[in-house]
Structure 1
Amino acid sequence: MKVIVTGASGVLGTAVSDAFTSKGSTDVLSLSHSRTGNGLVQLDLTNNEEVERVFKEFKPDWVIHCAAERRPDVAEKDPEGTRKLNADVPLHLALLSKTLKCKLVYISTDYVFDGRSPPYTPSSITNPLQLYGRTKRDGELAVLGVDGADVIVLRVPVLYGPAPKNSDSAINILLDVVQDQSGKKYNMDHYATRYPTNVVDIADFLVRLTKLKKSIPPILHYSADEPFTKYEICLTFSKILGLPHAHIIPDAEPPTGAGATSRPKDCHLYTRETEDLGVEGSLGLSLFEEWWAEHLQKKQ
């Protein structure tokens, strides 16, 4: 089997690339926009001609599209670039996958929902609150709208896992907040409920999904079930590390004021349809505190 992974230098993309590479029978092309090394191949996904050349030469069976602008605050500052990466690029990949007769997995987000009436099923009506969510929703509509393309939209929540830098993940970076014992105070979100999900789990699920010998629905949800606010995640890290947390102040109010990016309150993804697919090992989810305790112990 031949698999292309886009965004293969990101936290999720790295895990996906590693998961497929570890299967000796899979030929993996790991694409990155700027980073090199570790088998990464540089490719600007907005360069349609170059993308077509690379894809046609490699002839993939599956394309796992992880590349995206994933940071809502950054998206607001560069709406044109975000729309191009989150909506235009997926459309081109869907058209290309139709031509090459390969399967495309478009990684989407729980932020396509407004967070007002969870849990959300794959057929729930989308209503994103901010530009990031709108561009990811537009990407979904684009890939699903290509008649004849074999496309799967996989919606996931906020992610964590092994990362070169804690700042690469909205969850991992909270470790830096807990470990900052300089006296600096942090106001921490205690408003939005999140369901942090491990990228290694997602990657392993995708490998098992490619082995499924039956039709796959066009939209799937993959999510852990443990609810946390960012403040509660900080308390969990504080417990694991044995560090005080008085410098972290819970903020239970929704984001307001100039420059604040709207965040949905609770976008819990309903995963029963995914569980019922019959993928070997089902979702295979890690427990948040257990995984972090083991991971941080290994790093000491």
Structure 2
Amino acid sequence: MKAGERFTVALIGASGLLGRAVAAELARAESAQTWRVVRTARNRVDAQSAKLDLLDHEAVRGFLRELAPDAIVVAAAERRPDICENDPSLARALNVDALRVIAEEARTLGAWVLSISTDYVFDGASPPYYPDDAPAPLNAYGRSKLEGERTLLAADPASCVLRLPLLYGPFTDWNESAVTSLTPAIVASANSANPRASMDAWATRYPTFTPDVAVVIRGMLEHHARGATISGIAQWSGDEPMTKFDIARRIARVLKVDAKLVAQITPTDSTPRPRDCHLDSGRLEALGIGRRTPFDQAIAGLLSNYPDVSSQ
């Protein structure tokens, strides 16, 4: 970058759960007039974003060539494990093929790519997991994300993959996150006419707040803008282990619902899921990058924004 030029970031998938948080965080960098952030969305397009379908490869190429960004953050993906298991071709199209197109264009343009991946690239048998540990995904979602990682890094070793665990944050509907999706059943259980809410007490998760991840991503972009590019594999995770049963009981306390109405079960999902994929965040922590909001504080803040929660 030349003196006086703005650092241009393409945020792909700005309308999703994580994308919105990243867009909000990067808006603060834009306000300093030193950054330019161009947001894209596929369906929920607004005045602040451009419509872009990642399945339209020519449109993706045209968008990137016209913008010529310094950095590209890829927050768009097919992230629903059951959908991926039932339609692996769709998972591959979004999580691998689209990323290949972005990576190829980025290499030509000299742009740094930061792509979001998942803890599901591991089998959950031997946590914690470090960036250089051997992946062993159990399901189609994890396999597609692992292939996407390898595709990106093969195209340009200077690019970066950021692995993340279970995300939650400001939402537009309950089902945007596997954390907030538990809420309707918890509320329903408060009605004596409804059975107890049954929640998975087998798999350990590490819920991670999207505004915290947005701070991490901004920190990584700032490193790149200063010429200290972070490449290869990086990881970030919340540090509070809990099952869905634990999460549900915490949500119940926030909603003043009797936690005894939440029952624990061992799941029988058709899609295999890992038991504990705790990601080590040491690489980013050593660089002074990161923020963690306590889960109880974050979930209370989220649910306080929805005063009609008891009617859901």
Superposition TM-score tier, normalisation by shorter sequence: over 0.9
Distance 2:197 2:138 in 1: 25
**Cα drift, residue 67 of structure 1:** 0.5
**Cα drift, residue 298 of structure 1:** 4.4
Percent identity (aligned) = 35
Moved more, 223-232 or 202-211: 202-211
Report the equivalent of 2:27: 21
Q: Indicate yes or no: 2:290 matched with 1:290.
A: no
Superimposed CA distance per residue, residues 81-130 of structure 1 (whole angstroms, 9 cap, x where no aligned partner) = 11110111111111111011111011000000000000000000000000
Counterparts of 1:45-56 in structure 2 under 5 Å? 45-56=54-65
Report the equivalent of 2:268: 255
Q: Indicate yes or no: 2:14 matched with 1:8.
A: yes
Superimposed CA distance per residue, residues 37-61 of structure 1 (whole angstroms, 9 cap, x where no aligned partner) = 2512211112111111111111111
Taking structure 1 as the reference length, the TM-score comes to 0.93
Question: Does the Cα contact within 8 Å between 1:101 and 1:150 map onto a contact in 2?
Answer: no
Aligned residues: 292
Distance 2:207 2:112 in 1: 27
Question: Does the Cα contact within 8 Å between 1:21 and 1:28 map onto a contact in 2?
Answer: yes
Counterparts of 1:163-182 in structure 2 under 5 Å? 163-180=171-188, 181-182=190-191
Question: Does the Cα contact within 8 Å between 1:94 and 1:149 map onto a contact in 2?
Answer: no
Taking structure 2 as the reference length, the TM-score comes to 0.89
Amino acid of the structure 1 residue aligned with 2:214: A
Say what the alpha-carbon RMSD is for the aligned residues. 1.5
Instruction: Assess, with a 3 A threshold, how the Cα gap between structure 1 residues 161 and 140 changes in structure 2: closer, same or farther.
Output: same
**Cα drift, residue 149 of structure 1:** 5.3
Counterparts of 1:130-141 in structure 2 under 5 Å? 130-141=139-150
Amino acid of the structure 2 residue aligned with 1:255: T
**Cα drift, residue 27 of structure 1:** 1.6
Superimposed CA distance per residue, residues 240-298 of structure 1 (whole angstroms, 9 cap, x where no aligned partner) = 111124443211x3535xxx11010000001111211x24xx31111100122233334
Report the equivalent of 2:105: 96
**Cα drift, residue 217 of structure 1:** 3.5
SS of residue matched to 2:159: strand
Distance 1:194 1:27 in 2: 35
Distance 1:65 1:215 in 2: 16
Amino acid of the structure 1 residue aligned with 2:218: V
Q: Indicate yes or no: 2:93 matched with 1:79.
A: no
Question: Does the Cα contact within 8 Å between 1:97 and 1:150 map onto a contact in 2?
Answer: no
Instruction: Assess, with a 3 A threshold, how the Cα gap between structure 1 residues 38 and 158 changes in structure 2: closer, same or farther.
Output: farther
Distance 2:217 2:159 in 1: 14
Q: Give ranges in structure 1 of 5+ residues lacking alignment.
A: none
> Which segments of structure 1 move beyond 4 Å, counting only runs of 4 or more?
none
